Amino acid sequence: MHFSGSARAADENFDYLFKIILIGDSNVGKTCVVQHFKSGVYTETQQNTIGVDFTVRSLDIDGKKVKNSSANIITFAIVQIHAQAQKMSPQIWTTSSHYLWEPLIWTPLPVLLQMQVWDTAGQERFRTITQSYYRSAHAAIIAYDLTRRSTFESVPHWIHEIEKYGAANLVIMLIGNKCDLWEKRHVLFEDACTLAEKYGLLAVLETSAKESKNIDELFVLMAKELIARNSLHLYGESALNSLPLDSSPVLMAQGPSEKTHCTC
């Protein structure tokens, strides 16, 4: 699989441009999730995000190719869910009727999709920076560390932030990260599902960048839901009038950044 992370690719003639913010408390592994989505690589040691870091990945949603011609073939099928909410697996819960399940040849209309993922800083002192990014986002992913109960208890706060600063129709998903550390679990999957249902979130997934678990599923489900909700129409945006992409962080004046161990 080829991933595109350039600041502004030469070919900007894609059908959809979706902006997704990844939020949550510090050190829950947000950057590990983003980096795995971008490059398929897990890095044991990550640098704390300063402000907002941009990641771009382009793919063809008809499953035949991504933006670069050297891409491998990726195909998916759609499973319709007739109940209001179902558990698709022990670690994926969703209310979506567009959930991508098992690999299968699927040939709808070709749709070229670009996803901008904003890895926002969870530190309180950067809150004023990240608030401005809620307003232009199409979707939000709230991350918690399932080995730290306090990060899960912060989820309602992040939902409130979205409701306060984001668009009314913003799509929200919840992920419990570091599911490879099952022996240190302090948040039950059922608790996360209950919370998601209470607040009307799209889905809950337990993820692990270290073990490549549910990372692609997370973003593909989000992309399919955004396309379905837009009925093949973008939110009135194009590649040229979007916020400029920059693969480097937004910097603030401060001392040297610290390294943090990220076990995702």
All structural domains of the chain, each given as residue ranges with its CATH number in brackets, are 16-249 (3.40.50.300)
In this predicted structure, what is the pLDDT of residue 200? 92
**Tens digit of pLDDT for each residue in 186-238?**
999 999 999 999 999 999 999 988 888 888 888 888 888 887 887 544 444 44
Q: Counting Cβ atoms within 10 Å, is residue 81 exposed (0-12), middle (13-18) or buried (19+)?
A: middle
d(CA 116, CA 263): 24
Count CA atoms within 13 Å of residue 236 on its CB side: 2
Number of H helices, E strands in the chain: 6, 12
Would you say 27 and 260 are in contact if contact means Cβ atoms under 8 Å apart?
Answer: yes
- CB atoms near residue 38 (< 10 Å): 17
Instruction: Give one word for 130, left, alpha or beta, with left for phi > 0 and alpha for psi -120 to 50.
Output: alpha
Nearest Cα to 213, choosing from 48, 55, 76, 32?
Answer: 32
**Tens digit of pLDDT for each residue in 44-67?**
655 554 444 445 555 554 543 323
* Tokens 């040297």, located at residue: 256
**Tens digit of pLDDT for each residue in 63-105?**
433 232 222 222 222 222 223 333 344 467 766 554 443 333 3
- Here the contacts of 257-261 (C-beta below 8 Å, separation 24 or greater) are 257/47, 257/48, 257/50, 258/47, 258/48, 259/45, 259/46, 259/47, 259/48, 260/27, 260/45, 260/46, 260/47, 260/48, 261/44, 261/45
Q: Counting Cβ atoms within 10 Å, is residue 208 exposed (0-12), middle (13-18) or buried (19+)?
A: buried
* Tokens 């918690």, located at residue: 144
